[in-house]
A = this chain, B = another copy of it.
Amino acid sequence: MDKYYTITELTREFGVSTRTLRFYEDEGLIHPERRGRTRFFRATDRHLIKEILRGRRIGFSISEIREIIQMYKEPPGEAGQLRLMMKRLEDKRAELIQKRRDIEETLEEMSNVEEACLTRLAEIGVGT
């Protein structure tokens, strides 16, 4: 099949603006084809967009996302480069693990607050 996606199809699917997708293209993250001036997105672009948005939700900057995409594409050939890349991976991993811990702590606290709300509601509700 090799389907093409138009820009608005993708904006609808992912809930982003055309500006955003063009911005990602300008930043070199995706490379939709062109027929005349119109962009045609392939499955691979669509998949990349998914990864980009996931990175964005996590809080990665555009350049970090670019770096990550690069990593998938081509593990560099030279040993020094490889070691450096693994070091960076380690750092990112630590960061993500910290972030996950932060999220879990926050989720717990939110549960507490929610419970307090429920109790309060019950108290008030009684008198209604």
Q: Assess whether A16 is interfacial by the CB under 8 Å rule.
A: no
Give CA–CA (A128, B106) in the complex, Å.
Answer: 49
Least distance between A44 CB and chain B CB atoms (Å): 16
Tell me whether A114 and B89 are in contact (CB under 8 A): yes
Q: Assess whether A37 is interfacial by the CB under 8 Å rule.
A: no
Stretch from A3-11, A17-25, A27-35, A51-59 that touches the partner: A51-59
Give CA–CA (A83, B114) in the complex, Å.
Answer: 10
Interface residue ranges of A88-126 to B (CB < 8 Å)? 89, 92-93, 96-100, 102-107, 109-110, 113-114, 116-118, 120-121, 124-125
With a CB–CB cut-off of 8 A, which chain B residues contact A89? Answer: 110, 113-114, 117
With a CB–CB cut-off of 8 A, which chain B residues contact A55? Answer: 106
Interface of A is mostly: helix
Interface range on chain A (Cβ under 8 Å from partner): 35 or more
Give CA–CA (A81, B58) in the complex, Å.
Answer: 30
Going nearest first, the 7 A-B pairs with the smallest beta carbon separation are A59-B59, A54-B102, A100-B103, A58-B102, A57-B102, A96-B103, A86-B117
Residues of A within 8 A of B (CB): 54-55, 57-59, 71-72, 75, 77, 79, 82-83, 85-86, 89, 92-93, 96-100, 102-107, 109-110, 113-114, 116-118, 120-121, 124-125, 128
